[in-house]
A = this chain, B = another copy of it.
Amino acid sequence: MTDAPAVTVLAGGVGAARFLQGLVQVCPPEDITAVVNTADDVVLHGLHVSPDVDTVVYTLAGAIDRERGWGLAGETWQAMDALERYGGVTWFRLGDRDLGTHLYRAHRLAQGAGLAEVTGEIARAWGLDLTVLPVTEDRLETRVTVVDEGEIGFQEYFVQRRHDIPVEGVRFAGAEAARPAAGVLPAVAGAGVVVIAPSNPLVSIGPLLAVPGVREAVIDRRDHTVAVSPIVGGRALKGPADRMLDELGHESSAVGVARLYAPLAAALVIDEIDRDLAPAVEAEGVRAVVTDTVMRDPQTAAELARATVGAVR
């Protein structure tokens, strides 16, 4: 690992967190930067909640509830239960221990600290050695247009409605005016390898690339950029990426992902199950790397990370 390149990962939530859990086993964590989506962030009860950042941190700290896929293992729910007495907003469940994170973040933001600074403090408090950066400290808000209903917030779509409704549009409010957080563009420009994590291309990676300067920085590093397909056998392993791709006029397949990422990445890691799609992926102008992409545990995640980084070193 002595000549390991600096690796910058464009990250959403669960899929990216698992990938990073593999990556820290094959690259020195100090050389890794995760640039994390903040367009799912939501202010609830006066508290700034950063679901993707927290999923990345909790996962890397080994503290995530793996079964539920979000929040802390061994969590309790006293505050939410109490909130129900008042008819408060409880569809977005914040566990008692998880609330400690949101209380801290709210306190530091109120003191005038930036989201990037606070995110770094939270990551260090969990003993992490990699750099975790929110893509921006400015407003960036995924808005989803639901068929026959109109536009709703991302968490209304994702959590409250359990992404069980057809979508006809997505936009990232605030993106035009958002600035990359300090360190984001240098992390992309200076990386030996840029990874686009196996996250939802439209609502996890999409908002990152919508922050002015980020897409351009990745394109500049295209030869050293590799994406991991979040679509395996035509399906998303988690979340609504497959349906969203369909509904928004893309193809829910490794080929569809290749088409989206061709301007950005020299290589796309696809699953063994999609081996037959390799020629079609390459026809999009992206080198196909075929391996096992289903991260069942930290070991398979490490193998995927090794293959991914190796694809563009």
Query: Is the beta-carbon distance between A46 and B79 smaller than 8 angstroms?
Result: no
Interface: A208 (CB within 8 A): no
One of A81-89, A153-161, A271-279 at the interface = A81-89
**Complex-state Cα separation, A43 to B86, whole angstroms:** 20
How many Å from the CB of A242 to the closest CB on chain B?
Answer: 34
Within 8 Å by CB of A76, from B48, B96, B104, lies: B96
Q: With an 8 A cutoff between CB atoms, is A126 at the interface?
A: yes
A294 within 8 A of B: no
Residues from chain B with a CB closer than 8 A to the CB of A97 are 78-79, 81-82
- A182 an interface residue at 8 Å Cβ cutoff? no
CB of B107 within 8 A of CB of A82, answer no
Knowing A46-B110, A47-B45, A107-B89, say if A100 contacts B81 (CB, 8 Å): yes
User: How far apart are the CA atoms of A57 and B11 in the complex, in Å?
Assistant: 45
Least distance between A71 CB and chain B CB atoms (Å): 12
Is A122 an interface residue, CB under 8 A from the partner?
yes
* Copies per complex of this chain: 2
A100 to chain B, nearest CB (A): 3
Q: Which residues of B contact A46 (CB under 8 A)?
A: 46-48, 103, 106-107, 109-110
| In contact, A96 and B82 (Cβ under 8 angstroms) | yes
Which residues of A, 125-164, contact B by the 8 Å Cβ criterion? 125-126
User: Chain A 227-252, CB within 8 Å of chain B: the 1/0 string?
Assistant: 00000000000000000000000000
The verdict on A4 contacting chain B, using a C-beta distance below 8 Å, is no
CB distance from A274 to the nearest CB of B (A): 41
Cα A89 to Cα B86 in complex, Å, equals 26
CA distance A101 to B76 in the complex (A): 17
**Scoring A residues 55 to 92 as 1 if CB is less than 8 Å from chain B, else 0, what string do you get?**
00000000000000000000010111111111111000
Task: For A84, give the chain B residue with the smallest CB separation.
Answer: B100
Chain B residue nearest in CB terms to A101: B82
Whether A44 sits at the interface, judged by CB under 8 Å, is yes
Give Cα A46–Cα B43 distance, bound, in whole angstroms.
11
Given A44-B103, A45-B103, A83-B100, output 7 extra A-B contacts at Cβ < 8 Å. Answer: A45-B107, A79-B100, A83-B103, A83-B104, A85-B100, A86-B101, A86-B121
Chain A residues near B (Cβ < 8 Å):
43-48, 76, 78-89, 95-104, 106-107, 109-110, 121-122, 125-126
Subset of 27 A-B contacts with CB under 8 Å: A44-B107, A45-B107, A45-B110, A46-B46, A46-B47, A46-B48, A46-B106, A46-B110, A47-B47, A47-B103, A47-B106, A76-B76, A76-B96, A78-B78, A78-B96, A78-B99, A78-B100, A79-B97, A79-B100, A82-B96, A83-B100, A83-B104, A85-B126, A86-B101, A86-B121, A86-B125, A88-B103
